[in-house]
Amino acid sequence: MYIFAPVNDKKKSLLDDVTGVFMEHGIKRVTMEDLSKQLGVSKKTFYKYFKDKEELVFEIVKEKVLEDQEQCIKCRSIAQDAMEELLLVIESVLQQFKGINLDVFSDLKRYYPRAWKLLDEHQRGFIQKMMLENLKRGVLEGLYREEVDKEIISRLYVVSIHAMINGEVFPLTEFEFEKLFKEIVWFHLHGLATEKGRKKIAHRI
């Protein structure tokens, strides 16, 4: 898990506001001047907290990574079993991405490699570890098949999600994000589930 120092309230509020603009319009096409005008914040205030747009984007991704980790941990703590934990995470992700401009991912990958690397490391580190622990829990609870190779499946899950946001295998101009994500996750779940696990899926859908 990444450990980041907390940001002050003013900076956090600014990051949240900018995130909303980027999620609606994409990142590349929005300039610092655009942000200043749209949010009613002087450029001087922006440059007080961020030396340039690259640092601003990195800070936003850092905050999103931290929020994602906190949400995953919360889902684990309140879920009654592994299947519910995974379903709660799925619902959380779909909620986060509702209405997002999918240019955000291609912009990150192409123009902001440091932020993209952080997102990639989050997926291959925290998310993979979370999935591995979920698989172990699910097998013990009789919800996932005992013969599942947990290391392979945890990595396969991360690779699938990475392929989805990478845009090379599934161009987001051709595939609706919500449908794509659901198909990948349902395929993953049904491949894992025992008969007991499939009944829980059926009750949740």
Q: Is position 13 within any domain?
A: no
Q: Does 38 map to a domain?
A: no
101: left (phi over 0), alpha (psi -120 to 50) or beta: beta
- What pLDDT shows up at residue 1? 47
Q: Give a yes or no: residue 169 inside a domain.
A: yes
Domain, as residue range, for 115: 65-204
pLDDT at 205: 54
Judge whether 187 lies within some domain: yes
What's the number of domains the chain is made of?
Answer: 1
Asked if residue 29 belongs to a domain, the reply is no
How far apart, in whole angstroms, are the C-alpha atoms of residue 121 and residue 115?
10
> How confident is the model at residue 143, as a pLDDT?
95
Label residue 53 by pLDDT band (50, 70, 90).
very high
Give the model confidence (pLDDT) of 99-139 as tens digits. 777 788 889 999 999 999 999 999 999 999 999 999 999 99
- Do the domain assignments include residue 89? yes
Domain membership flag for residue 47: no
**Alpha helices (H) in the chain, listed in sequence order:** 9-25, 32-39, 43-49, 53-78, 82-96, 103-111, 113-122, 128-140, 150-166, 177-192, 195-204
- What is the percent of the chain with per-residue pLDDT over 70, rounded to a whole number? 95
Is residue 113 one of the residues assigned to a domain?
Answer: yes
Domain CATH number, residue 117: 1.10.357.10
Alpha carbon distances (Å) from 104 to 46, 87, 110: 20, 25, 10
Residue type, 71: Q
- Please, which residues bridge with residue 144 across strands? 193
pLDDT of residue 145 exceeding 80, the answer is yes
Q: How confident is the model at residue 179 (pLDDT cuts 50, 70, 90)?
A: confident
Instruction: Report residue 3's pLDDT band, with 50, 70 and 90 as the boundaries.
Output: very low
